[in-house]
Amino acid sequence: MPDRNQKKPTACLALADGTVFYGKGFGATGQAEAELCFNTAMTGYQEIMTDPSYAGQIVTFTFPHIGNTGVNVEDDETAEPVAAGMVVKWDPTEPSNWRATENLTAWLTAKGRIGIGGIDTRRLTRAIRQQGAPHVALAHDPEGNFDVEALVAAARGFKGLVGLDLAKDVTCAQSYHWNEMRWAWPEGYKPQEAPRHKVVALDYGAKRNILRCLASAGCDVTVLPATATSEEVLAHNPDGVFLSNGPGDPAATGTYAVPMIQDILNKTDLPVFGICLGHQMLALALGAKTIKMNHGHHGANHPVKDHETGKVEITSMNHGFAVDSQTLPDGVRETHTSLFDGSNCGIRMTDRPVFSVQHHPEASPGPQDSFYLFERFAEAMEARKG
């Protein structure tokens, strides 16, 4: 006999291969189609959901305690959540943290993002690792009415991230100035009042904490849209150029970003620093190629080796594409690699202060082993002035 006490599922996750997971919905109601990835970070679900690099993706959180620190306006990486939804093992808990101003479920509801709990996230993560990041449809209906065949068809109809330029969807509409530094006790976010370097940051989906790290390294930052031209960049007379993180296929974004970067490199000797998508943009501009990864790197515990110092850093990562190190041209050196799979995590030009990394030295969430890269950028600008 059926269990009369068993509650009807209120959310459904359908994979393109026909696999279906049922669970308890929370947050907004409705339906979303996206690529499914998993993130292994133990903290920072709010930063992850608001990271523009997650555009076009639904995130499976492998850490089961989601919701326990609540949410607050200070931890948003951009104004609104960008990830299409979230998958968790246990229902979100009530917040137990002095910084919380709202609970996760209410926040997701207000922001129009769907969540599903009660999922075997270990099984789901194994499937992603073995089969690659699947296309999925996630639905939340409080009445529990689901057309499973239609959801599977919607998952199969999702076009995927290959060939998709998402930077134009998450970039700023117009330029703006940034001077807020990293959070510090007890003042919180303080302004940079004595900047030493003028930096133009190209916004392919920039996280706020990256901009804060630039400010903390002594930079006066002007942020320009992803489609800015080299003339628009150089009109600000910068001491250095920064290429931000972002979502989507780097080859697609590169149709307009690569010529701009090449023009900057050809016309000036400015230091250039890139992170994540910015790393991939720089590599493409230098003549390398990028590839789609099986399931990508998403987490705050990724070991990366710096081949120039021999040190191993524990880093935060979020990318589904990577630079193909076999295609790096002469004059470009591989500086960092992942100790998980050997994939490229950093490059630099051998004769100029032009470098980039695949991992996130600002963390948020994650360890801060790689913050020295912002200082290296500042030192390169100081040396150029000298």
Measure the CA–CA gap between 259 and 195, rounded to whole angstroms.
30
Residue 276 falls in the annotated catalytic set: yes
Q: Which amino acid is at 116?
A: I
331 φψ region: left (φ > 0), alpha (ψ -120 to 50), beta (else):
left
Enumerate residues 6+ apart whose C-beta is below 8 A from 16. 134, 135, 136, 152, 155, 156, 158
Tokens of 262: 């090449």
d(CA 192, CA 218): 7
How far lies 158's CA from each of 25, 151, 386, in Å?
Answer: 22, 11, 52
How many CB atoms sit inside 10 A of residue 173's CB? Answer: 7
Contacts of 7 (CB under 8 A, 6+ apart): 24
Q: What are phi and psi of 259, to 5 degrees?
A: -60, -35
**Count of residues making up the chain:** 386
358 and 319 Cβ atoms separated by less than 8 Å: yes
Which candidate in 33, 77, 313, 362 is catalytic?
362
Is 362 known to be catalytic?
yes
Q: CA 335, CA 316: separation in Å to the nearest integer?
A: 17
Active-site hit among 276, 313, 319, 345: 276
Which residues are annotated as catalytic?
276, 360, 362
